[in-house]
A and B are shown apart, each in its own frame.
Chain A
Amino acid sequence: MNVDVLVAGAGPAGLAAAVELRRLGAGRVLVVDREAEAGGIPRHSAHTGYGLRDLHRVMTGPGYARHYAQAAARAGVQIRTQATITGWPGPRTATLTSAEGIETVAAAAVLLATGCRERPRAARLVPGDRPPGVMTTGELQQRVYLLGQRRPGRALVVGAEHVSFSAMVTLAHAGADVVALVTDQPRQQSYAAFALAAAARWRTPVWTSTALRRVSGRGRLDGVELADLRTGAVRFVGCDTLVFTGDWIPDYELARLAGAEIDPGTRGPAVDTALETSVPHVFAAGNLVHAAETADVAALGGRHAARHLAAALRPGPPPRAQRIPVTVTAPLRWISPNAIRVGGPPPPRGLFLLRSEAFRRLARLEVRQGDRVLGTARARLVPERPVHLDAGWIARADPSAGPVRVTLR
């Protein structure tokens, strides 16, 4: 099968991109998703707050997922669900496996929008026994919202960022008594209002500076050992469900198999400000390049990639994509996009996205290239929360002066 654009992933980024591609006149746009329904993670996020920045309204996750799936269908996008890309026999040629068999799809351009997931307990190297009852938010939400399962008993949530509070709400909905949210950070990393609501509505505290040392329980989960990082005291807390939240990692398998260079910070494919990867005509958008932002930010990234992907499809010699790498130094963890396309667009929404591993109330970010300061900005740094850096300075970057570095002054 030949298509103009193959989109891997029918989440907010992939679907928004597909709609935009069709609006811009792209021919055959095929969106492939391995799940049974299009829509991505919002399908099983029952809470509201979706659609603010991209659709200028507020919807629930499932409603938002439906909106994009329907918009894509109306726009003439071909959507294939329960179909998995299992290989890349050529640079923009995918092997597609589904109940219909094994097909080869050749595309003029590819958009990778495979999203991200939470790192599970094993990847976090949490020692102890390995009983059932330990899961990620993603698994919990599917069990509760897609399958209607109950989770009676005591539950503990590891993490205190936005998604951790979302897991707490899901657990409460499923009948669990949520003992606490635990974080090794000195403060929770979500909005103060969430923590207040958790304490008031569900009497769920956030235990800060608390590290999970060990999981206990043979056959079934008994509880966990928690260490107070201030005093060193270790205590046992009984629970029947343990949910690991956040600690996002891009689902980068397809990008790596496609030969795209990986950014060591985001761990997703390295992309320039047009969201093109190191492989020509292979673009990447959404939480694959910034794990994890809200769905609307992912969708706007998808739209942005679609515009530049559509430009790349026009006949004529491909523009020479000269790039200036953009990096960060600690306590900043990553920046996305990770390169400026010389003569190209600013990043989606005119903003670079960053993450910090430390709290700073009033941080001053400095953008330097060699000895030159290209720009400065003020930001509040909270681990796991987005930091935005206006991209107004990119025109001042010198293509021959080496990488641009964003540091804390």
Chain B
Amino acid sequence: MVGTAIARALSRYDLAVVLADAANDVGTGTTKANTAILHTGFDAVPGSLESRLLRRGHALLAGYAAQAGIPVERTGALLIAWTPEQLQALPEITDKARHNGYASIRAVPAAELYRREPHLGPGALAALEIPDESIVCPWTTPLAFATEAVRGGVRLRLDCRVTGAQPEAAQTGAHLIRTTRGTLRSRWLVNAAGLGADRIDAMLGGGGFTVRPRRGELIVFDKLARPLVGSILLPVPTAQTKGVLVAPTVYGNVLLGPTAEEVEDRSDTATTAAGLAALLEAGRTIVPDLVREQVTATYAGLRAATEHRDYQIRVDAGLRYACVAGIRSTGLSASLGIAEYVVDQMAGAGLPLKERDGVAGPPAMPYIGQAGVRPYQDAGRIAADPDYGRIVCHCERVTRGEIRDALASTVPPADTDGLRRRTRAMNGRCQGFYCAATVSAMMTEPAMADGPGRPA
């Protein structure tokens, strides 16, 4: 997420940029661990870099999403107190929000809370309303950044794991970056490797932080559960975690999670019986009717936490190196704020920024949310191209035209998981019972690579 945002920011200048990722797609690391919320940063640590970049990132991403067609819904959030101790904590949270420059927070008494959220479980005492907390599509966002970057000349290298970095022997001032796809030579190096950021930092002589992966498991409920929840329902945070929340998704599902568990293994994104049971237990308290609905998906991601509370961002002019690490769970919301800050710091450290000719601006991304108009709902688009009327994934109402567009896009999917993230196909309640065979066959259908405008 942060890497694509920085690549996008750099693509506006006259620079030769390579965006390398160890995975076969963008946005598959810590990006996958997020709760798809566009945070205001009301509850960040006041005065921290995270607080500042979250506030800035929220404003920037809200504007960018509107331009690029990234699904966003301003549902607002309700931070709910369930115990007298939590009730006592609410004024402190309000103060903190004000210190973070967020003044729209307000107290909501229990009666109003239950009027707004009639399916809320019994026992809520009061809440705080944070009207600008929004839900956002976590897949379209990094894809839009990567698409804009690639169209702006950034070379995207996937399946390209960094294995070593050292100064070039010839004293040219370049970094020699060894990867699983060959050696790259670059004057500047930006380390936005998420869970692997400390390892790359160590190659550059760092060592000021260690990534401590924190696993978060989540449960996604059926779309028929969507009417049960109006806003993002937050718990009162503790020192350890923001706690388990219930939130609508922009696709029309309901999300329950995350757990927070420190793990050793940086690739262990398995769900656990204990984690899922704990989530259902929490869900039963928050919205009892929710756990009676069917589960559409479960997943887990790893947040790139470190031993430090704040972001670990450092730009070294001598090394021509930017370290952008410890972004924890706020990378989606802060991404554009972080990118702006990092590029600014790099400029201050001597990176020449000359605006390139023909900067195109945000790309128009395929819309996969539920609040706006999807292709199957658009008579005009179907008339112009009947493939937008041919629904192939029934649960998510994904059309043949959308799958074709994704396969022919600037940053195409490498596998069916990539296609799921881009189109929602196979991500619905049947998880492929009806469509997986057909959809995966389309991935190898020659006509699909030709893109729009060709007869099926």
The reply to whether the CB of A118 lies closer than 8 angstroms to some CB of chain B is yes
Chain A residues with CB under 8 Å of B271's CB are 127-128, 130
Determine if A98 and B389 form an interchain contact, defined as CB atoms under 8 angstroms apart.
yes
Chain A window 245-257, contacts with chain B (Cβ cutoff 8 Å), 1 for yes, 0 for no? 0000101010010
Most central of B270, B391, B433 by chain A CB within 10 Å: B433
- Which chain B residue has the least Cβ–Cβ distance from A115? B434
**B378-420 contacts to A (CB < 8 Å):** 379, 382-383, 386-387, 389-391, 394-395, 397, 415-417
Chain B residues with CB under 8 Å of A84's CB are 376, 391, 394, 397
Residues of B at the A interface (CB closer than 8 Å) are 224, 267, 269-273, 275-276, 294-299, 376-377, 379, 382-383, 386-387, 389-391, 394-395, 397, 415-417, 429-434, 436-438, 440-441
Interface SS of B by simple majority: mixed
The reply to whether the CB of A147 lies closer than 8 angstroms to some CB of chain B is yes
Determine if B432 and A120 form an interchain contact, defined as CB atoms under 8 angstroms apart.
yes
In the bound complex, how far is the Cα of B376 from the Cα of A130, in angstroms? 30
Determine if B296 and A123 form an interchain contact, defined as CB atoms under 8 angstroms apart.
yes
Cβ-neighbour of A117 out of B379, B417, B430, B437 (below 8 A): B430
Chain B residues with CB under 8 Å of A121's CB are 431
Chain B residues with CB under 8 Å of A253's CB are 224, 395, 429
The reply to whether the CB of A233 lies closer than 8 angstroms to some CB of chain B is no
Determine if A101 and B389 form an interchain contact, defined as CB atoms under 8 angstroms apart.
yes
Chain A residues with CB under 8 Å of B276's CB are 125, 127
Chain B residues with CB under 8 Å of A86's CB are 376-377, 391, 397
**A34-52 contacts to B (CB < 8 Å):** 34-35
In the bound complex, how far is the Cα of B383 from the Cα of A147, in angstroms? 30
In the bound complex, how far is the Cα of B426 from the Cα of A132, in angstroms? 12
Determine if B294 and A123 form an interchain contact, defined as CB atoms under 8 angstroms apart.
yes
Determine if B433 and A117 form an interchain contact, defined as CB atoms under 8 angstroms apart.
yes
Determine if B433 and A120 form an interchain contact, defined as CB atoms under 8 angstroms apart.
yes
Chain B residues with CB under 8 Å of A200's CB are none
The reply to whether the CB of A307 lies closer than 8 angstroms to some CB of chain B is no
Tell me the minimal C-beta distance from B96 to chain A in angstroms.
36
The reply to whether the CB of A102 lies closer than 8 angstroms to some CB of chain B is yes
Residues of A at the B interface (CB closer than 8 Å) are 34-35, 82, 84, 86, 97-102, 117-123, 125, 127-130, 132, 135-136, 138-139, 142-143, 146-147, 149, 213-214, 216, 218, 249, 251, 253, 256
A122-B297 contact in complex given A34-B394, A99-B382, A99-B386, C-beta closer than 8 Å: yes
Chain B residues with CB under 8 Å of A249's CB are 294
- Which chain B residue has the least Cβ–Cβ distance from A34? B394
In the bound complex, how far is the Cα of B433 from the Cα of A119, in angstroms? 9
In the bound complex, how far is the Cα of B432 from the Cα of A123, in angstroms? 12
Determine if A125 and B295 form an interchain contact, defined as CB atoms under 8 angstroms apart.
yes
Cβ-neighbour of A100 out of B295, B298, B389, B395 (below 8 A): B389
Chain B residues with CB under 8 Å of A147's CB are 437, 441
- Which chain B residue has the least Cβ–Cβ distance from A130? B299
Chain B residues with CB under 8 Å of A127's CB are 270-273, 275-276, 298
Chain A residues with CB under 8 Å of B395's CB are 253
In the bound complex, how far is the Cα of B377 from the Cα of A218, in angstroms? 37
Tell me the minimal C-beta distance from B302 to chain A in angstroms.
13
Listed by A's residue number, 8 A-B pairs whose Cβ atoms lie within 8 Å are: A84-B376, A97-B377, A99-B387, A122-B298, A127-B275, A130-B270, A136-B433, A253-B224
Chain A residues with CB under 8 Å of B270's CB are 127-130, 214, 216
Determine if B294 and A119 form an interchain contact, defined as CB atoms under 8 angstroms apart.
yes
